[in-house]
């Protein structure tokens, strides 16, 4: 059996009539970087709070590092909440050290480690600066360090990239990769797909509290129907008869090729776009443009969430 740092089994959370998390089952293997995607209000933060036993699930079971409550393994886990904040009057080093002591590190070791950690990420000159004097991004980096100062096996970062400039986002990406290299498991939530695409081994996508995808990035993209965009002035009825073409949609007059029209051709399953190109030649369709791009994670996300929202609304 594979070693899992986190297991959720049919976890649901209801607040009165509102279901924030609906029957989510999840297993996060040790050593992976796991992306947790979802719209605002999809239930990400509620799920994370249940993982940390800050709130109790209405039903279902959470096991974290083999324990039934995060407090039993608090020394081995780290958490960066979505809404960031630290004690304004404390210095950066004191803050990091304080949270580390709450994770069981001795006061002396915590103070030493805090400075080492700040130095490793180029923040040593801010060690004795009070939090209130730090910029927002700097404060956020300090808070990330607070979450990992005790070398946790499992780290949950809720929206760690929000509010950071591109350079600092890069620093944070490095930090997350460092953690994984050292053997820690990282679960981070985001709604910026590029980060997920670059960092994640696996991802979990939820919408309206329900899990709608759990797997690899490639797997997520594969759920997207492939499509081809063409511009032509010719009649394209012939393409409609092609096996593997699910739908042809007129997009309108081509803005770049005068006299031509733009069409979107949706393909069935894993149909190769090459087949469409061949058919065009065979049917004498004169192509002004033939565009076949891989779907991005962003497209997959929109498509998956869109589908779920639609079914949700029908239900």
Partner 1 sequence: MRYIVLIALREFLENAKTKGFWIGIFMLPLMMIIGITVSTKLAKAEPSRYFLVIDQSGAFAGPIDQHIEWEYQKSVLGALGQYAQENLRPGEKHDLNLATYQAAVDAFIAAGGKEALLARLKPLLRDNAPAFKEPTRFFVRIEVPNDVDASASHETLLAQLKPYLVGERQVSTDAGSLPLFAAVVIKPDGVEGAMRWTGEESIQYWSTNLAVNNLTQQVQEAINVETRRRLYASQGVDAASVRNIEATWSRLGTFDPAKKAGEETVSTADRIKRNVPIGFVWLLWMSIFTVMQMLLSNTIEEKSNRIAEVLLSSVTPHEIMMGKLLGIAGVGLTMIGAWLGTVFIGLRFWQGPGALELTQALDAITASGLIPMFLLCFLLGYLIYAGLFLSIGALCNDIKEAQSFQGPLMLIMMVPFITMALINRDPHGTLATILTWVPIYAPFTLMNRAAASPPMWEVVCASLLMVATAVLFLWSAGRIFRIALLRSGNRPKLAEIVQWLRGRAE
**CA-closest candidate to residue 174, choices 204, 148, 205, 139:** 148
Least distance in angstroms from the C-beta of 209 to partner 1: 16
Q: Which residues bind partner 1 (CB under 8 A)?
A: 15-16, 49, 52, 54-56, 70-71, 74, 77, 79-81, 83-90, 98-99, 101-103, 143, 146-147
Whether residue 145 contacts residue 67, with contact meaning beta carbons closer than 8 Å, is answered with no
Among residues 102 and 116, whose Cβ is nearest to partner 1? 102
Among residues 33 and 155, whose Cβ is nearest to partner 1? 155
52: which 2 tokens? 């940390």
Estimate to the nearest angstrom the gap between the alpha carbon of 161 and the chain centroid. Answer: 11
Least distance in angstroms from the C-beta of 262 to partner 1: 46
Q: Does residue 164 sit in helix, strand or coil?
A: coil
Least distance in angstroms from the C-beta of 247 to partner 1: 44
Q: Count the neighbouring beta carbons within 10 Å of the beta carbon of residue 133.
A: 12
Cβ contacts of 208 within 8 Å, gap of 6 or more: 22, 42, 43, 308, 309, 312
Among residues 17 and 243, whose Cβ is nearest to partner 1? 17
Among residues 99 and 126, whose Cβ is nearest to partner 1? 99
Least distance in angstroms from the C-beta of 263 to partner 1: 48
- Between CA 75 and CA 77 the distance in angstroms is 6
Least distance in angstroms from the C-beta of 210 to partner 1: 21
- Between CA 180 and CA 174 the distance in angstroms is 10
Among residues 15 and 281, whose Cβ is nearest to partner 1? 15
């Amino acid at each position: 059996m594979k070693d899992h740092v986190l297991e959720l089994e049919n976890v649901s959370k209801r607040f009165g009539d509102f279901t924030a998390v609906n029957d989510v089952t999840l297993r996060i293997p040790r050593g992976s970087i796991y992306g947790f995607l979802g719209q605002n209000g999809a239930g990400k933060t509620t799920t994370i709070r249940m993982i940390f036993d800050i709130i109790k699930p209405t039903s279902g079971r959470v096991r974290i590092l083999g324990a039934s409550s995060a407090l039993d393994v608090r020394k081995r886990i780290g958490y960066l909440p979505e809404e960031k904040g630290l004690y304004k009057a404390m210095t950066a080093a004191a803050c990091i050290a304080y949270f580390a002591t709450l994770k069981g590190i001795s006061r002396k070791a915590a103070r030493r480690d805090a400075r080492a950690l700040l130095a490793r990420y180029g923040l040593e000159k801010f060690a004795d600066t009070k939090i209130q004097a730090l910029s927002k991004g700097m404060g956020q980096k300090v808070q990330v360090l607070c979450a990992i100062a005790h070398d946790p096996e499992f780290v949950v970062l809720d929206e760690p990239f929000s509010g950071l400039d591109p350079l600092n986002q890069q620093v944070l990406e490095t930090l997350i990769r460092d953690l994984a290299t050292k053997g820690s498991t990282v679960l981070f939530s985001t709604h910026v797909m590029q980060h997920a695409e670059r960092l994640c081994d696996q991802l979990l996508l939820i919408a309206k509290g329900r899990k709608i995808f759990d797997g690899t990035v490639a797997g997520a993209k594969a759920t997207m129907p492939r499509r081809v965009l063409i511009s032509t002035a010719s009649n394209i009825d012939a393409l409609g008869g092609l096996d593997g073409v699910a739908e042809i949609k007129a997009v309108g007059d081509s803005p770049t090729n005068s006299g031509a029209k733009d069409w979107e051709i949706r393909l069935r399953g894993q149909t190769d776009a090459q087949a469409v190109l061949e058919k065009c030649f065979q049917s004498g369709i004169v192509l002004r443009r033939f565009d076949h791009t891989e779907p991005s994670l962003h497209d997959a996300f929109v498509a998956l969430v869109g589908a779920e929202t639609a079914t949700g609304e029908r239900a």
